[in-house]
Copies of this chain bind each other. A is one copy, B any other.
Amino acid sequence: KKPSFLRGVSSFVHKKLGKHMQKIIHSIKVGIALVLVSLLYLLDPLFEQVGENAMWAIMTVVVVFEFFAGATLSKGLLRGLGTILGGGLGCLAAILADDFGKIGNAVVVGVSVFIFGAVATYCRLIPSIKKKYDYGFMIFILTFSLVAVSGLRADKILKLARERLSTIGMGFAVCIFTSLLVFPMWASDELHRLTSSKFDKLACCIEDCMKVYFSVLNEKETMPSINVSGCKSLLHSKSSDESLANFAKWEPWHGRFGFFYPWGKYIELGEVIRELASIILSMQKCLESPMQPSRSIQHAIKEPCKSVGLLLGLTMRELGQSITNMKRCQAKVLMVPKLQSAKLDLILLSTSPKLRGLPNVDSLAIANFL
């Protein structure tokens, strides 16, 4: 475990200096990793050990080092796996081809490169594989082709493979060291933070809808537009959520997450939140539409609607807060009875003659969510 001083600094950096500082730290980390791996070339005793293969260590660092620790880990592991599998099969193909004559050899190698290359490329295009293992398949094709083809020329193919793998391993070790141990950027923390901030955005939108809609006092005034940019940005969050969850799955135990990985739940939550955001957006469209009930009706529904809006906003903030603090949400006990009674009020109101409050319909839908 890290000493608490380091953890304090790290959390300070995360919170106060934000995204920009994180980017600078990441850049410096990459620079350090590159220098560390360059030592394989720069220091004579090390260079005598690895020789020209040091190239592969540099390549590994440049290609594998990603912003999030989970992304670095997954790329590194996939690279290792792809290299081993591709190298192994490539060796087999080269040895198999060796039994044929000079021309037969070339034909067998060519055919096997074609078949493995085409099949692995087809696999890369399957969506579920593309999402998670794309990089591993690419490295598999690369290593297989290189090994199978150069097997013809390199006599000491096993020695070459061992050396190359060990330098790739060194590069990976440097990546892991700088990525996971020095100011790590966890994709899981980012997903956690994003999920709880989404509830705040929902709360802001609901409250803004209520505030703006009921701020208009007479018929002549035009309503100021409702700020729903927060909700709109939520609608596009699907792909970034999924890639974060994908990286988070690779990340080891850290912080307060323990062994109970909630990533699948976060994805489901994101889905529900997007559904809610689209409901709020359609409520906003209804509120901003040119056809509105008369002022007297608006006045009659003002108080109950506003109180429901406030209550919903409060509930959303409560939910977001409980995710931030990783504590069981008290909203179920405290808020649900209030929301139920508010819902009853609205139903009574809406069945009373001549009252058809548009916003209520949607507020009810939101209330039903709980």
Against B, the Cβ 8 Å flags (1 = close, 0 = not) of A149-184 are 110110000000000000000000000000000000
The answer to whether A113 touches B356 (Cβ under 8 A) is no
Within 8 A of B (CB), among A318-333: none
Cβ of A223 within 8 Å of any chain B Cβ, yes or no, is no
Chain B residues positioned under 8 Å from A7 (CB to CB): none
Complexed CA–CA distance, A42 and B34 (Å): 35
Residues of B within 8 A of A113 (CB): 31, 34-35, 38
Q: Does A217 contact B (CB under 8 A)?
A: no
Main secondary structure of the interface of A (DSSP, over half): helix
- Chain B residues with Cβ below 8 Å from A117 are 30-31, 34-35
Q: How far is the CA of A285 from the CA of B365 in the complex (A)?
A: 10
Is A27 at the interface (CB under 8 A from chain B)?
A: yes
Whether A42 contacts B235 by the Cβ 8 Å rule is: no
Q: How far is the CA of A19 from the CA of B207 in the complex (A)?
A: 45
With an 8 A cutoff between CB atoms, is A110 at the interface? yes
- Identify which of A121, A236, A291 gathers the most chain B CB atoms within 10 Å of its CB: A121
A59 at the interface (CB under 8 A from B): yes
With both beta carbons as reference points, the residue of chain B lying nearest to A58 in the complex is identified as B145
* Residues in A lying within 8 Å of B, measured CB to CB: 23-24, 26-28, 30-32, 34-35, 38-39, 41-43, 47, 52, 54-55, 58-59, 62-63, 67, 106, 109-110, 113-115, 117-119, 121-122, 125, 138, 141-142, 145-146, 149-150, 152-153, 235-236, 238-239, 278-279, 281-282, 285-286, 289-291, 350, 356, 358, 360-362, 364-365
